[in-house]
Amino acid sequence: MLKIENLHATVDGKEILKGLELEVPAGEVHAVMGPNGSGKSTLAYVLAGRPGYAVTAGRISFQGQDLLALSPEERARAGVFLGFQYPVEIPGVNNVYLLKAAINAARKQRGEPEVDAFEFLTLVREKMRLMRMDESMLSRGVNEGFSGGEKKRNEILQMLVLEPRLAVLDETDSGLDIDALKIVAHGVNTLRAPQRSLVLVTHYQRLLEHIVPDRVHVLVNGRIVRSGDRTLALELERRGYDWLIGEAA
Amino acid sequence: MSSAVTEQIRKEYGAVHAALPASVIEPARRAEAIERLCAQGLPATREENWRYTNLRVLEHARFAPVETQSQAVPPLPEALPGFVRYVFVDGLLRSGAAGSHPGLTVRSLRTPGPSSSAAWGPCPDVPEARLALLNEAFATDALLIEAHANAAPAAIELVFAASAGAQAGASYPRVHVVLEAGAELTVLERHMGAPETASLVNSAVRADVGENAHLTHYRLQQCAPRTAWFDTLTAQLAAQARYHLLTVGTGALTARSTVHVRLAGAGAELALSAAALADRQQSHDMYALSEHVAPNTRTTETFRGIASGRARVAFNGKIAVRERAGGSDSRQSLRGLLDGPEAEVDLRPQLEIYTDEIRCSHGATAGKLDQNMLFYLLSRGIAPQTAQHLLKWAFLEDVVARIECAELRRQIERDLASQMSAAATLKELL
Ligand SMILES: Nc1ncnc2c1ncn2[C@@H]1O[C@H](COP(=O)(O)OP(=O)(O)O)[C@@H](O)[C@H]1O
Ligand SMILES: [Mg+2]
């Protein structure tokens, strides 16, 4: 599904990713963990194609195609979804419009007709129930005045409605209380499927108790320094990151 | 240069003054207006409150009122439910519902009639009001709208259309709105014109809002692309009066609106919301003075302007709080969006305070589209152009959403979308 080789990326001329390697097969959930500032969000943004994040070397292939050759909107339409660490508020653009425009953009790409209005609302309502979100949120501006937890749930709602091939969730667990965490985790789990891959970027292993990953990778100083099964997350919980930072240096 | 223009004005006035209707404005007052205007000279860009106005268009203008009346009326927008429509072509009332609306008197002063209780005195002697003198000298018609004490709410639409024949001169829309105590009125003013019209439009509007009265005033400037539109609006608010003024400007080559609202009675409230959308070589400039004279008065001012292409958008909002206006409150939120390297936005919030114990909050920012918002939309698969349209749309919504009449709001939204060439990308919203 996703194969990253020797990825080097700079932000404002500063190299943040320094030869990152990562492979996520279809149907698997991988966690990327690491200390603050290690480059996790940078990786997520590079995957989504954010301007200002320059790839200076390396390759990213997604479903066999060159992801780096695609613009951000083309990546999204091809099935890449980024759940933002800090979802953006867009007053004046309402949530339901965004959802519909996003769905239709992907459908158009696939040569399908626009979504039927009734079908669309039924789908959105169902997913909102799953995320325990109030329907009144639909008519509000995108993330406008949402609490931190509501914003994260809204990211997952969008993901559920869009049904991406590859979802990269950047610290979706941060700022969530335990109940909200369970709701979010449940939402994510409903999307696990053989033809879909998930990358969970997280700082703590708390989320991984609810969304059990197939693999865990540790990102330190712009590189994956260790990979393992879910027990690696538990080890990190116990020992912190310092021992790996030492090794990476 | 300016004196050459005033000479031209004097000459044209000399040629037509005998034919100007005395019932609209008495000859002596017209002559006085010309004298005052020529003595003061036309506004110049070196004056601080005219800095951003494109005044060059006045150098080649014809000032005498348009004579042709044979031209067809340009296509009018769909009528709005509940509004009684009056249509002016080249400044003259062409059609309007005759007869009476309960509690309301509407009449053209071209036909002599009983004098109104509320007189429209001469222009105030302030440099910003000079172009109203030009209107006073040349006006060929004036509409008087009186909402009587405690009358039921009513809504009136005024369409000022410039015909294709208007190249040959200027037109002078003139309206006096009077709300007696407790009256409630909505006035919608549209300024528009046949596409090929390159005329000068110079309007003067006065509003007197009585005690406890409530005036909602929508103004749409949708003039033809080569029109020069100048406008002077003065309003006086009595105690507890509420004035909601909402303007949306998309048209004209050059548009300048001068607004002066006096909050003269205790507890009077002004809500001024303005949106401007300018592209190509357009220049949209608004100067708004809100003068707090009485205690516990309140101003809420919102401006959103977008300049694309080589356009310029300017908003100069001055709030003056006089000595006796203790306990007053003012909020100003001015924002501009620069859409392109050659566009220009000038925002000027000014606060002049002569008393203590007042509250005010002011903010003015001009910048480009928010890149975080833009990327968020792209990351959801939305095309870059649609995303840009959407964000511009959302930017103007701060003003547009305040339009209470849903039908009117939709009309304006459609107009804004078509001005942005976004009617196709935003069709889901229209
Ligand atoms: N816009 C930026 N300009 C300069 N440096 C940045 C920018 N964004 C992130 N960085 C730097 O890149 C490094 C990695 O950041 P980030 O990817 O956000 O880390 P993480 O998500 O792992 O906490 C940090 O040192 C951070 O300071
Ligand atoms: Mg991060």
Q: How far apart are CA B150 and CA A78, in angstroms?
A: 63
What are B89-107's pLDDT values in tens digits? 999 998 876 556 788 999 9
Span B336-348, mean pLDDT? 96
What's the confidence (pLDDT) of residue B69? Answer: 64
Query: Which DSSP helix (H) or strand (E) runs through A243?
Result: helix A242-248
What's the confidence (pLDDT) of residue A248? Answer: 60
Q: How far apart are CA B59 and CA B46, in angstroms?
A: 16
Nearest ligand by distance to the CA of B372: 1
Report whether pLDDT(A101) > 50. Answer: yes
Nearest ligand by distance to the CA of A219: 1
- What DSSP character marks residue B424? T
* B424 lies within 8 A of chain A by CB: no
What's the confidence (pLDDT) of residue B1? Answer: 44
ipTM for the whole predicted complex goes beyond 0.85: yes
Q: How far apart are CA B291 and CA A199, in angstroms?
A: 59
**Confidence band for B2, pLDDT divided at 50, 70 and 90:** low
User: Up-side HSE of residue B149: CA atoms within 13 Å toward CB?
Assistant: 3
CB contact under 8 A, B378 and A73: yes
Nearest to B261 by CA among B222, B291, B306, B226: B291
Rounded to the nearest angstrom, the minimum Cα separation between B300 and chain A is 20
DSSP letters for A187-229: HHHHT--TT-EEEEEESSSGGGGTS--SEEEEEETTEEEEEES
Q: Indicate the residue of A77, A90, A142 with minimum beta-carbon distance to B381.
A: A77
Span A190-204, mean pLDDT? 94
Q: How far apart are CA B160 and CA B178, in angstroms?
A: 19
CA of B12 to the centre of ligand 1 (A): 69
Q: Which of B376, B402, B420 to mutate to test the interface with A (most CBs of A within 10 A)?
A: B376
**Confidence band for B71, pLDDT divided at 50, 70 and 90:** low
For atom 11 of ligand 1, the residue with the nearest CA is A37
CA of A8 to the centre of ligand 1 (A): 14
Spell out which residues of chain A touch residue B395, defining contact as CB-CB under 8 Å.
Answer: 92
- What DSSP character marks residue B17? G
What are B121-139's pLDDT values in tens digits? 777 778 888 999 999 999 9
Q: Indicate the residue of A51, A90, A158 with minimum beta-carbon distance to B373.
A: A90
What are B226-268's pLDDT values in tens digits? 999 999 999 999 999 999 999 999 999 999 999 999 999 999 9
- Predicted TM-score (pTM) of this structure: 0.90
Q: How far apart are CA B419 and CA B427, in angstroms?
A: 13
Share of chain A above pLDDT 90, in %: 92
Q: Indicate the residue of A76, A92, A100 with minimum beta-carbon distance to B379.
A: A76
Query: Strand A215-220 to strand A90-94: parallel, antiparallel, or no bridges (unpaired)?
Result: unpaired
Span B276-287, mean pLDDT? 97
Share of chain B above pLDDT 90, in %: 77
What's the confidence (pLDDT) of residue B8? Answer: 94
Q: Which residue of B has its CA nearest to A101?
A: B382
Spell out which residues of chain A touch residue B372, defining contact as CB-CB under 8 Å.
Answer: 88
CA of A249 to the centre of ligand 2 (A): 21
Ligand 1 is surrounded, with C-beta below 6 A, by A 11-12, 14, 16, 34, 36-42
What's the confidence (pLDDT) of residue B118? Answer: 65
DSSP letters for A133-169: --GGGGGSEETTT--HHHHHHHHHHHHHHH--SEEEE
Span A69-78, mean pLDDT? 97
CB atoms within 10 A of CB B101: 16
What's the confidence (pLDDT) of residue B70? Answer: 58
Q: Indicate the residue of A77, A101, A142 with minimum beta-carbon distance to B428.
A: A101
CA of A201 to the centre of ligand 2 (A): 8
Q: How far apart are CA B296 and CA B269, in angstroms?
A: 9
What are A120-160's pLDDT values in tens digits? 999 999 999 999 999 999 989 999 999 999 999 999 999 99
Q: Are B238 and B265 in contact (CB under 8 A)?
A: yes
CB atoms within 10 A of CB A43: 27
Report whether pLDDT(A245) > 60. Answer: yes
Report whether pLDDT(B189) > 90. Answer: yes
Query: Strand A215-220 to strand A29-33: parallel, antiparallel, or no bridges (unpaired)?
Result: parallel
Span B195-223, mean pLDDT? 94
Q: Are B375 and B369 in contact (CB under 8 A)?
A: no
Rounded to the nearest angstrom, the minimum Cα separation between B390 and chain A is 7
Burial (CB count <10 Å: 0-12, 13-18, 19+), residue B102 = exposed
Nearest ligand by distance to the CA of A222: 1
CA of A129 to the centre of ligand 1 (A): 35
- In a mutational test of the pocket of ligand 1, which residue from A7, A8, A10, A11 has the highest number of ligand atoms less than 8 Å from its CB? A11
